[in-house]
Structure 1
Amino acid sequence: MKKILASVALLAVSSGAFAQETYLEKDTLICFSEEAYDRQIRYLNQGVRKVIDGCGITKKEYRVIPMEYNTFSASVVEVIEFGEVVYVGNNGLDIRD
């Protein structure tokens, strides 16, 4: 019984970590694969202002569920509205309390 109560208490305490909402900002580059994201970034780094196949720009703000946060590469999020997993730079994510 103590083990169950401890687990419930731990779950209640850790649920506060999920209180933040994350949004994908309007006009953010998104890609549907990590390979497409990396290729798009190479284009941008070379001054080529073309959106490649497999990538796009958001037209509005979307609420997302962060799946993988990466500092030096694309982060992975699921767009709640569509249920799609996309790759995005961290500068396009807005984390709110």
Structure 2
Amino acid sequence: MKTIKASMFFASALFATSASAAPQILPKGSLACVSEEAFEKQFSYIAQGVNKIVSDCVITNQDIEVVIIDFNMIDATEVSVVSNGATLYIVGSDLQ
């Protein structure tokens, strides 16, 4: 029963985020990478306790308005920055 409830929660969260037409905010202090490969490498570092930002990743120094391109609860979420169209890969749960 817990599995069914969890699945329903994630499905509804995914639908609600995907159906939203309004831009989202990636808050200051969030991880953002310019490629999915860099995002995966960064999480390998984190998983092994290495406190270092890999090349092609940054910690944001301001709130960034983004549009969700591909929301993913497990892997990188792909977003497009509203101000310049740049593609970033982020932790989807960071969005506000």
Q: Shorter chain as normaliser: what TM range?
A: 0.7 to 0.9
**Superposition pairs for residues 1-97 of structure 1, below 5 Å?**
17-18=20-21, 20-94=22-96
| Structure with the bigger percentage of strand | 1
Q: Structure 1: state its 5+ residue gaps.
A: 1-15
CA distance in 2, matches of 1:57, 1:73: 18
Cα shift at 1:71: 1.2
Relative to structure 1, the CA distance from residue 57 to residue 44 in structure 2 (aligned partners, 3 Å threshold; closer, same or farther) is: same
TM-score (norm 1): 0.75
Aligned-residue offset at 1:91: 2.4
CA distance in 2, matches of 1:86, 1:33: 7
**Aligned-residue RMSD, C-alpha:** 1.4
TM-score normalised over the length of structure 2 = 0.76
| 1:21 shift after superposition | 3.3
Question: Bigger radius of gyration, 1 or 2?
Answer: 1
Which residue number corresponds to residue 9 of structure 2?
A: none
Residues of 2 paired with 1:29 and 1:48: CA distance? 15
